[in-house]
Structure 1
Amino acid sequence: MKIVVVGGTGLIGSQVVRRLTEHGHEAVAASPASGVDTITGEGLKEVLQGARVVVDVSNSPSFADDDVMAFFRTATGNLVEAAGAAGVGHYVALSVVGSDRLPEAGYLRAKVVQEDLIKQSGIPFSLVRATQFFEFVGGIADSSAEGTTVRLPGAGVQPIAAADVAAVVARTAAGEPLGGTVEIAGPEVFGMDEWVRTGLAFRHDAREVVTDAEARYFGAKPGKDGLLPGPGAQLSETRFADWLPVNPPVK
């Protein structure tokens, strides 16, 4: 069947397209580079023609609070409208574990708005909420750095490999709509400070990770369990220590 993957050239989207194609589906990667712009609506009608499923793994180019809210509100609104008009029967979106628990974080507030627009669309849907990707370990350090010091809370995190996220998203897209949300996470719980410290040390990054209970994560204080999945989450098998040696930092 035809499955359109919005954000199909990104970290998750490209892997979703590959997996769906390998399983015999007509997976179409939609992005501004292919003439599809969810902000302006350009190309949406054309790319969704004949599609049975749309997968939304797109992301805002800016994480500033106002920018990210404007992106998800506008892009999701346009995509929902176009998908409904095209008769799409399944809308799959990737979201974030803990989004509804941390309203202080502008990015997570915007993801809740995205989820609500999808739920209210009338289109059968599946929401996949993932924890932080292993691939984000360097970016989290960068966003929390003050010179050579990285300040992070000891909040619990259960990070997951992007490849494992893509596998779940692809499998969900090929299946029947859930009409709800599934949470996915890695097999191990770390303190955020511990996780980032381990990642930096492995990559010989000399920055010092300091545990700071007052440090924020995208503007929020996540607390001990704010970023952890709830009971019943699907856990992947890839461990961080096994992932690190085969995933050098992107230059």
Structure 2
Amino acid sequence: MRVAVIGGTGLVGRHTVDALRAKGHEPVVVSRRTGVDVTTGAGLDAALEGVAAVIDVVSFESAERAAAEQFFAAETENLLIAEQRAGVGHHVLLSIVGVDRVEGNAHYAGKRVQEALVTDGAIPWTIVAATEFFDFAAQVVGWTRTDAGAVVPPLLVQPVAVADVADLLAEVAVRKPVGRTIEIAGPETHDLVDMARRTLTARGDEVRLIASWRDSPLGVEMAGDVRLPGDDARIAPTTFETWLATQSKRG
């Protein structure tokens, strides 16, 4: 099957392209690097020619809610319209577990707009909602790092490997649309501060970690089990320890 991967040169996109190829399908990489701009629609018609399904893994980071909502609205509307013209039969969206339970986060607000457009749209759909990736703790360190250290909130998460999410996206895309959300999470829950400490240790990086919600890029509304998946979530096989072993080989 010919499947377009929107954002196919990014982290999740690259893994998804590989997963599709491994399953014997023909991935079409769609990104600005391949001459397509989903925010304007330029190049989409040519990219979707002969495509049976689309997987949208495009990401956008902004601290401004309006900017995030505008980006995801524009790219999703352009994509769905182009899919109608191309006769695409299945739209698969990568989203986030618990996106509707966190009001104050700008990125989540944008993803909610995106989900609404997909579920109300004319293209049959499936949403795959994933928990945080294993490298999320290190990302938070990067966002808050100063000479004094890095603020990491004591967030309870059930992180997942990017490759496992990509494998599910590739699996779902070539099946019939189900019109509902499928959640995927890793096999174990972890504290984000501990994850950050272990990741930095594996990479040989020394940073003082400050466990606090204050001055954190994440709001306290994420505390407790808000970020955890439901009971019917797909549990991916890769453990955090397995991923950590790959980090220790860096450099």
TM (norm. structure 1) is 0.93
Do residues 231 (structure 1) and 231 (structure 2) align? yes
Q: Deviations over 1:44-66 (max 9, x none)?
A: 11111221101101112x42323
How far apart are 1:27 and its partner, in Å?
1.1
Do residues 106 (structure 1) and 77 (structure 2) align? no
1:68-107 correspondence to structure 2 within 5 Å: 68-107=68-107
Q: Deviations over 1:120-171 (max 9, x none)?
A: 1121111011111113332111113343422222221011111111111111
Flag structure 2 segments of 5+ consecutive residues without an equivalent: none
Q: Is the 8 A contact 1:135 1:162 kept in 2?
A: no
Q: Is the 8 A contact 2:36 2:44 kept in 1?
A: yes
1:31 aligned partner: 31
Given the superposition, is the C-alpha separation of residues 189 and 217 from structure 1 closer, same or farther in structure 2, using an over 3 Å criterion? farther
How many aligned residue pairs are there? 250
CA distance in 2, matches of 1:107, 1:147: 27
How far apart are 1:25 and its partner, in Å?
1.5
CA distance in 1, matches of 2:151, 2:222: 14
How far apart are 1:81 and its partner, in Å?
1.1
1:143 aligned partner: 143
Q: Percent of aligned pairs with the same residue?
A: 37
CA distance in 2, matches of 1:21, 1:108: 30
CA distance in 2, matches of 1:241, 1:221: 28
Given the superposition, is the C-alpha separation of residues 230 and 144 from structure 1 closer, same or farther in structure 2, using an over 3 Å criterion? farther
Q: Deviations over 1:21-43 (max 9, x none)?
A: 23222210111111111011111
How far apart are 1:246 and its partner, in Å?
1.4
Decide which moves more: 17-26 or 164-173. Answer: 17-26
Structure 1 runs (4+) greater than 6 angstroms displaced: none
Flag structure 1 segments of 5+ consecutive residues without an equivalent: none
CA distance in 2, matches of 1:198, 1:248: 10
Q: Is the 8 A contact 1:154 1:191 kept in 2?
A: yes
Decide which moves more: 77-86 or 214-223. Answer: 214-223
Given the superposition, is the C-alpha separation of residues 161 and 59 from structure 1 closer, same or farther in structure 2, using an over 3 Å criterion? same
1:48-59 correspondence to structure 2 within 5 Å: 48-59=48-59
Q: Is the 8 A contact 1:155 1:226 kept in 2?
A: no
Q: Considering only aligned residues, what root-mean-square deviation do their CA atoms show, in Å? A: 1.8
Matched residue SS, 2:36: coil
| Amino acid in structure 2 at the alignment position of 1:136 | F
1:153 aligned partner: 153
How far apart are 1:219 and its partner, in Å?
4.7
How far apart are 1:202 and its partner, in Å?
2.2
Q: Deviations over 1:44-98 (max 9, x none)?
A: 11111221101101112x4232332221111111101111222211000111111
1:202-221 correspondence to structure 2 within 5 Å: 202-214=202-214, 216-219=216-219, 221=221
